[in-house]
Amino acid sequence: MKHQSLTGFRDVLPEEQPYWRTIEKKIAEITQLYGYQRIDPPILEETALFLRGVGTTTDIVEKEMYTFTDKGEKSVTLRPEFTAGVMRLYIENGMHTRPKPVKLYCVGPIFRYERPQAGRFRQHNQFNVEALGEQDPAIDVEIMSVAWQLYAELGFTGLQFQLNSTGCPECRPAYMKELRAYYHGHYDVICNDCKRRLDQNPLRLLDCKNESCQPVIAGAPVITNHLCKDCETHFSTLRNDLELLQRPYVINHKLVRGLDYYTKTVFEVWAHGIGSQNAMCGGGRYDGLVQQLGGPPTPGIGFGSGIERIIMSMKEQGLEPEPVPETQVFIVHSGNIARKPAVQLTFALRAEKIRTLLSFGQRSFKSQMREANRSGAAYVIILGEDEVAKNMASIKDLATGEQKIIPLDDVIAVLEERIWK
């Protein structure tokens, strides 16, 4: 019987690795540039953390979590997102006592039992950035710019922010009341999901994807007309900063998070050729979350960006990753007496940081040369019995075809001269 990977799980083969390495490298560079520090929370957490930290009425918690009972009879869950675990880490490690803002990022897999569809995986990797302990809209702009710069440096064009404010516990209730009243007036035409949302999670009414709900959404009251003074100032400062930095944005009233601890800023980044279903990333402010999870009142803002999504978009847009460095030298050898110096030379070259491959087994000279050509090596060192008997070696430049015999002891120096010149 052949084994197969689970539905929604995928293998990443060597051919795709350049995309991963390119993105990881950019993430490391850009987070350093902005002063964000890496953390690595565990993949497995108590289920209760996500019930409180993600919200029990969300699709994630209702349908998508990998939850099981471990051998100690404890309910545990493979993280379906990063933020709740990061907040737990922040509180548990007393990071609220550090100078603020505390600026953190992480990269790794998250798990959601989603319906299999193109570009959706049950294990997928996410780049997650959070800034804790700062109210200033300047940190909102900073967080948003981390995402922006990542996509820009990867080569995406037509970048644009989708932006909204979801208010705060001060101003949201009045808006929600008006939104509910409006929806009750359209109860007959909205979808069944929206009928349910109307009671449980009214803000989510606004991001219903159902066709029949679109005209209702289009006519719905907008929250940005209901912001309190504090939320309004925050939102206008943020917009002014984005204009100052010449970052295009569009106010999108459908953009909501829909949980009480989300406040003020909500954003997505869109790019050329990538539609609303395919936002590059989404994030927002969650000034109530740390407190909700048992920590001191702490404002926070963050975003998550799926790495598979970035790779898929790079491929669609024809954006090339950085190439993997090719083999520099290939060692061909024939006959018993050549084997020993061939092995020695291979490892000596690697010690000098020259990327070197050695032919294995007892292959014919011709098949070793074929292998050398396939490897992408610039130079072949040939150790035949005749050469080795005279303490010599042949060096062949595969690009020009030029070949000459040099003393075996000089091979490293000659290669270093040619490769690093």
- Interface with Zn ion by CB under 5 A: which residues? 167-168, 170-171, 191, 194, 208, 210, 213, 228, 231
For Zn ion, the closer CB: 59 or 371: 59
For Zn ion, the closer CB: 219 or 273: 219
Shortest CB 171 distance to Zn ion, Å: 3
Shortest CB 172 distance to Zn ion, Å: 7
How far, in Å, are 7, 89, 90 from residue 93 at the CA level?
36, 6, 6
For Zn ion, the closer CB: 66 or 182: 182
Shortest CB 59 distance to Zn ion, Å: 14
Shortest CB 165 distance to Zn ion, Å: 8
How far, in Å, are 55, 135, 342 from residue 260 at the CA level?
9, 17, 68
**Beta carbons within 10 angstroms of residue 271's beta carbon:** 22
Instruction: Quote the CA–CA distance of 74 and 76 in Å, as a whole number.
Output: 6
How far, in Å, are 56, 77, 81, 114, 129 from residue 85 at the CA level?
16, 11, 8, 20, 12
H or E segment to which residue 300 belongs:
strand 300-306
For Zn ion, the closer CB: 41 or 167: 167
Instruction: Quote the CA–CA distance of 184 and 145 in Å, as a whole number.
Output: 39
Shortest CB 227 distance to Zn ion, Å: 6
For Zn ion, the closer CB: 153 or 170: 170
Nearest to 263 by CA among 361, 326, 129, 170: 170
277 contacts: CB under 8 Å, gap ≥ 6: none
Shortest CB 244 distance to Zn ion, Å: 23
Instruction: Quote the CA–CA distance of 307 and 22 in Å, as a whole number.
Output: 11
For Zn ion, the closer CB: 57 or 394: 57
For Zn ion, the closer CB: 45 or 287: 287
Q: How far is CA 144 from the centre of its chain?
A: 14
23 contacts: CB under 8 Å, gap ≥ 6: 127, 150, 154, 307, 310, 311, 321
Q: What are phi and psi for residue 273, nearest 5 degrees? A: 80, 5
Shortest CB 208 distance to Zn ion, Å: 3
Instruction: Quote the CA–CA distance of 336 and 295 in Å, as a whole number.
Output: 70
Shortest CB 374 distance to Zn ion, Å: 56
CA atoms within 13 A on the CB side of 271: 23
For Zn ion, the closer CB: 228 or 319: 228
Instruction: Name the amino acid, one letter, at 178.
Output: E
For Zn ion, the closer CB: 179 or 342: 179
Instruction: Quote the CA–CA distance of 232 and 222 in Å, as a whole number.
Output: 13
Shortest CB 291 distance to Zn ion, Å: 16
CB-CB contact of 35 with 104 (8 Å): no
For Zn ion, the closer CB: 223 or 381: 223
Shortest CB 297 distance to Zn ion, Å: 15
Shortest CB 266 distance to Zn ion, Å: 13
For Zn ion, the closer CB: 213 or 393: 213
**Beta carbons within 10 angstroms of residue 314's beta carbon:** 19
Instruction: Quote the CA–CA distance of 2 and 267 in Å, as a whole number.
Output: 45
Q: What is the CA radius of gyration of the chain?
A: 29
- Joined together, the tokens standing for residue 325 give 């460095």
CB-CB contact of 76 with 29 (8 Å): no
